[in-house]
Structure 1
Amino acid sequence: MTLLAGEVPLVPEAAAAPAVSLLPQTAAALGALAAAAERLPWQRAAQAYGGAGLHRLGAAPAEPGTVPPPRTGPSAADTADAALAADDAPWLRARILVKRARYALEVCSAPDGELLELDRVLGRHQEASDSAATVATAARTPRITPATAYVLGVVHADQRLDVEAARYDFGRQWPVVAPGLVGPAAVASD
């Protein structure tokens, strides 16, 4: 028999009925997912392709006829990157918790197709978020041509819109999935 490093054998009591002994851990995974979903910034995911994430990143326009003060501290690009990372972090955490909940239900022989779809939606979110960050970094390389910078800016905006679309999709699917994930019926044994 081959044993993978990640497959730790169950203690003898749990080996007799693994699904029953793992029900408390499954319930904890589902509870953590429900709690994380409650903390997501739903107000920004209320509409698809809203572009709100892009509009907040622009510099505040200066008053006509005034010279803005010299900037001290982090650069505008660093500030924008930090703002986007802070926006994406709870959603990336939710994806991890969706995966944990899905895997826990699979161990208890109760696979959930709805969690798989939520994982796919949050996977799209993560891919778009990572792509946008990579494109933004590429756009800041020295000696970039204006045409290339323009194209990278368009790609970045498109990826951020994909992030918002994935959040919107998650927001539309979550209310349908959430009631089935909490309570004793969510992890009841067969």
Structure 2
Amino acid sequence: MAQQHLDPTDPRPRHVGPVTGDALAGYLRAQATEFLRALRLHRETGGTTAGANGAEDSVDAARALRRSVRRISGSLHTFRPLLDAEWSDAMRPELAWLSGTLAMEHAYGARLERLLLALHRLSGAVFPTQSASAVAGTASSGTAGSRADAAAGSRAAGAARVGAAAHQNAGPPTNLPAPDRGNLTVGAAKAGALLERQLTLARTRAHSTALQALGSSRFHAVADSIALLASEVPLTTTTATTDLHPFAAAAEERLTDAITALPLVTAGSPYNAEALIHGLSPDPSPHPQDAPWHQVRLLLRLHRYAREVLDGDGDTSRSSAAESGGTPIDGRLLTAGQALDRHRDASEAAAAAAHAARTPRIAPATAYALGVLHADQRHEVEAARFAFQQSWQKQAVGTP
């Protein structure tokens, strides 16, 4: 589906008058209603429905659950002084737990596909038309989804052995030749198989964890609280007459300060060798430069959600479009957000490649292929930083 983008110099108009607590209450009720709707759909399809349509519905329901949970949690963070403090402080960690638990399965599937695609690109092979993304989220539908995951992983690993000499920038492949190991090194093929085993296992465990979480008393307590939120929002006595703009402005200021602290000058070239100085460090901890960028990504999301509250945008169809790369609440933020998403994905993929390279007793050729893959993903990290730097500077110039 073609993505629709707003003109970065022509964002949607904002409310110019005061926006009070009634808008916040309406937004939270809308997101709580979306959560309950997605939960009902997930229960109807998850774990019991076989077939592609049922699996797709379950994946969409899980994504809708995460979207609504993130927006409720973000609103509780930004507008905390306007809500009952005890209730808000109790809800926020539970919402963070639920969002993180539901996100892990999809994250492992996307990471595996990204790394296998990179292996194909680096090896000069062509990825088949039927990619792992066609079944990337089907595990959310239960046992049938887990079997689909296993099949997807097998197809992806098999794809690492398909030879087809083609230029990196060539169009979609047609009339693929018979499988041939000659176009892929043995090390790359074994690296792909190793990543497939590790990440598929991690994804299966994440799927089981999500199923257990959705059936736990902890989740039911969270769902009950959100169900109450759909009818009654615990606002303070003064919220009804309090303007929301200062709170949204504070969220935007936190974002601006965090971006100011980033090394945007260092990120001024698409492939920054200086930033890769820690790339060969034996320390398995996350890359030391990534954390500030991840923090900016979270602050950008909070800024977007605050803008949604101010604009009265509780429409879940708009929220869904914004999350999937369609029409966002402000077109000027789209490119910056997408660059930070790519930064996060590439950073985590590089960490997965480094983790696989630490597997004991792997062949030198396999370790070499994983090292090349790690370096490739770190270069993707730098390219994403460069893209963010470019988009943010343009936004700053175009902002009145």
Interval of TM-score (by shorter of Structure 1 and Structure 2) = 0.7 to 0.9
User: How far apart, in 2, do the equivalents of 1:150 and 1:129 lie?
Assistant: 19
1:143–1:52 CA distance, 2 compared to 1 (3 A): same
Q: Report deviation, 1:43.
A: 3.0
TM-score normalised by the chain length of structure 1: 0.72
Residue 105 in 1 paired to residue 323 in 2?
no
The one of 370, 373, 376 aligned to 1:158: 376
Letter of the 2:333 partner, please give it: L
The CA deviation string for residues 133-179 of structure 1, in whole angstroms up to 9 with x for no partner, is: 11101101101111211111111011000000000001111122236
When the two structures are aligned, how many residues end up with a matched partner?
A: 159
Unpaired stretches in structure 2, ≥5 consecutive residues: 1-28, 36-224, 314-328
Higher normalized contact order (CA 8 Å, seq sep 6+, divided by chain length): 1
Conserved? CA contact 1:139–1:152, under 8 Å: yes
Give me the whole-angstrom Cα distance separating, in 2, the residues matched to 1:148 and 1:161.
20
One-letter amino acid matched to 1:93: Q
Q: Please, which of 23, 28, 35 is the counterpart of residue 245 of structure 2?
A: 23
- Structure 2 letter corresponding to 1:149: A
Letter in 2 for 1:141: T
Is 1:128–1:163's contact at 8 Å kept on the other side of the alignment?
yes
Which of residues 357, 361, 380 is equivalent to 1:139? 357
Given candidates 27, 42, 45, the residue that maps to 2:267 is 45
- The whole-number CA distance in structure 2 between the counterparts of 1:49 and 1:163 is 9
The answer for the alignment partner of 2:282 in structure 1 is 77
Contact 2:297 2:340 in 1 (8 A): yes
Q: Deviations over 1:117-142 (max 9, x none)?
A: 21111010000000101110110110
Q: Deviations over 1:83-124 (max 9, x none)?
A: x62200110000000000011111111821222321111010
Uncovered stretches (5+) of structure 1, i.e. residues with no partner: 60-75, 186-190
For the pair 1:88 / 2:310, whether they are aligned, the reply is no
Aligned-partner Cα distance in 2 for 1:27–1:179: 19
TM normalised by structure 2 equals 0.36
Q: 1-side partners of 2:246 and 2:374: how far apart?
A: 43
What's the RMSD between the two structures over aligned residues?
A: 2.7
Q: Which residue of 1 aligns with 2:193?
A: none
Q: Which 4+ stretches in 1 moved above 3 angstroms?
A: 1-8, 12-16, 178-181
**Change over 3 Å in CA distance of 1:136–1:58 after alignment to 2:** closer
Q: List per-residue Cα deviations over 1:59-91 (Å, max 9, x = no partner).
A: 7xxxxxxxxxxxxxxxx401xx45x62200110
Aligned to 2:24: none
